[in-house]
Structure 1
């Protein structure tokens, strides 16, 4: 398939250079507003939480403040519960699920833990409903020190002082039909590789850490989400997105090796959610509700199984 044009930019078999990246960037269009959808919501939460900046991104004439939400009663003797969303800007329920969690349940853990929520890691991509940043980099392969992706570098720096204090980290994502129609073909073209079509799972699933698996934790979250929306089945090979199924609705990746968001800290309990918003069996609100259910279950399990 490497000799066939499966993406409108690039030459099959050749990795992109500056011209191809510029052509890709020229195709991107702003479709929604980070200021209206995210920043305005966080402004309304200032009466309840500490909303602080942890940097900013400047892309051309566009300026994006990066915002984090912290418990107002932050205490050094309490564990940290970390929620991240919008690492991939097109994964809408990751952003809106994090915001909904803050609005509905953010105050539930006062005195028990410190809550830290970053609802939209990639604001430029959120506005363009895209996976990459303007430099055609995937933030979720670049969460490491001195990262080439500004979104990733800023979050790594924010979390560096907390690496060993984070008890639980849940990173909110989606798997969409556009993964197969746009994003995986673009990735193959960018890297000069052949595109091998895959299968998009219908339903919710989780990604555990190969190097520090927590199967009971993952199962607890899956059972909570199953009350809100359906859990993805394995395909005919017994896999989800090419990874073997560990248990219903759970696969695993080497998250630190791949520089994924869920591996930034040394959290004992870490997971990545994957919601399927294109399912005929799920509404956008259900997708947000599934993310909220996952966050609440992850927190509940972590606090109940805390080891000091």
Structure 2
């Protein structure tokens, strides 16, 4: 056994004694983990408040755009090409190298994901993956079959893609998460109303941001002419504020736009008429993310 490993274990035990004991997980059963030391290049100082967005390149952006499906129960997603075109244009303006993949089968989706995960991202700031498709709770649809959303980010954890460790990995998913409808509620106002840090360790699932167009169990709306509510709002915010606001502030205003500015218009189908929607954000980011200005990609 290496001497350094003995010292590490001793320091952990000493720290546990100093803190009054060790940490335990709130779960029962067996646990799978690897204790082998995995090292990735440190992209930013340990306590830096912002992600380093000054690498040579912004990064890769993959857009999986699904309009047509082999599954007979799934209708064509008219209007999705508007979303795809708008998002690609906005991301190129932020400096991303954008690839749009249309009507890919499940095997092709995973193939592209693994190819990008196997790339060297050393000179990249971050990663963006967007999926525009049909969905249900806990599943997304490719052209031929469904797959789990977590398959999208599985290969990008810090242990599997070390050149993206410590860098933001963003996932935007435009899809239903169920068939529940949100009728909304009316609110009324009343009168009474520098790199000097030592190396440091991070969790392999740190630095992910996953944004669904709607909350679990609920319907997600798309206009056949203008595109989905979520993608319209996201593209507008990225276009006008993408280089100034940090991403979580920006996404808060995306939620505001979707929640307040949109309402379904289906008077011939009253149960679906005047329904609302709000996106759902899951953040494992550990710093503020501001894209800043970068040379646009053609």
For the criterion TM > 0.5, the same-fold answer is no
Q: Rg: which structure is higher?
A: 2
Answer 1 or 2: which has greater helix percent: 1
With normalisation by structure 2, the TM-score equals 0.30
